[in-house]
Amino acid sequence: MADDDLTIGSAQGPYDVDSLATPVEDLETSHLDLGSVLVPVVEGGQVTVEMTPDHQPEAVYLITPHGRIGVSAFAAPKSPGLWREVVTELAASLRDGGAQVSIEDGHWGREVVASVPGAAHRFIGVDGSRWMVRCVASGPAETRDELGRLARAVLAETVVRRGRDPYPPREALPIVLPPVLAEQVAAAQQQMFDQQSAGQEAGAPGAVAQDPSGVGDASSPGGGTDDDDLPRSSGSAMQRFRRDRTR
């Protein structure tokens, strides 16, 4: 996107930060700045952070009444077309994992919809300038359409900050939590650790929070497509908290 007149609120995204007329500083109250992506906050929603085993942020999700929405950015070649490649690989892998898969035409092109008993996952991708952004919407089967519309609205107001660092194609661009969010994650992790320690001292097994979506590894542009990802849980540690809108 090379139009320098692109502004937040015009629903012409996902925007490249370098071609956006709206200053990033003006997005502090409307967007969640995650370093490589700035994601609009859904009113009344919550934020979930998925951490790696070494306590690094791997994915951030918006929790809505219809389901959860995750937006991630990946490095891509200068020529577009990465999402088209990912769609083919993703659909095949999801089918191998036991999901019913369909390809639908969306606002930006192909969308992959994977259905498992009681749940549906929608994958939407957009190619940009040396980046590809992917949105994953996961929720109950009965809210599939409403969640899809909300996911497109979120993606249409998302900003991608690719940066100048070299990354191989398909590598996930780094997620950086804002200070308030990082503090809440650290506090939640400490609380979980204390609860596990107390349970072990009492002779009870430590509790392990799991990713209920079954989507899997968010660091892959396919969104987690190993055979074990669907329909079983990936078992990733999760921390949940409300976003502080007053910072």
Domains along the sequence of the chain with CATH? 15-201+236-241 (3.40.1000)
| Among 148, 143, 127, residue whose Cα is nearest residue 74 | 127
Is residue 78 left, alpha or beta, with left meaning phi > 0 and alpha meaning psi from -120 to 50? alpha
For residue 59, name the pLDDT band (cuts at 50, 70, 90).
Answer: very high
pLDDT reported for residue 209: 35
For residue 236, name the pLDDT band (cuts at 50, 70, 90).
Answer: very low
C-alpha span between 103 and 114 (Å, rounded): 9
Strand partners, 19: none
| Among 47, 99, 90, residue whose Cα is nearest residue 69 | 47
pLDDT digits (tens, 9 = 90+) for 112-140: 999 999 999 999 999 999 999 999 999 99
pLDDT reported for residue 202: 65
pLDDT reported for residue 207: 34
Taking residues 21-50, report their average pLDDT.
91
Residue that wins the pLDDT comparison between 192 and 220: 192
| Among 134, 121, 92, residue whose Cα is nearest residue 218 | 134
Residue that wins the pLDDT comparison between 45 and 15: 15
Task: Look at strands 100-106 and 109-116 and give their pairing.
Answer: antiparallel
pLDDT digits (tens, 9 = 90+) for 64-95: 999 999 999 999 999 989 999 999 999 999 99
pLDDT reported for residue 4: 55
C-alpha span between 219 and 215 (Å, rounded): 11
Q: What percent of the chain has pLDDT over 70?
A: 81
Helix (H, G, I), strand (E, B) or coil at 156: helix
Residue that wins the pLDDT comparison between 6 and 200: 6
pLDDT digits (tens, 9 = 90+) for 176-188: 998 888 888 888 8
For residue 242, name the pLDDT band (cuts at 50, 70, 90).
Answer: very low
Hey, what are 193's tokens? 């650790």
Whether pTM exceeds 0.75: yes
Helix (H, G, I), strand (E, B) or coil at 185: helix
pLDDT reported for residue 142: 96
Residue 32 reports pLDDT greater than 60? yes
pLDDT reported for residue 214: 36
C-alpha span between 45 and 40 (Å, rounded): 11
Residue 210 reports pLDDT greater than 90? no
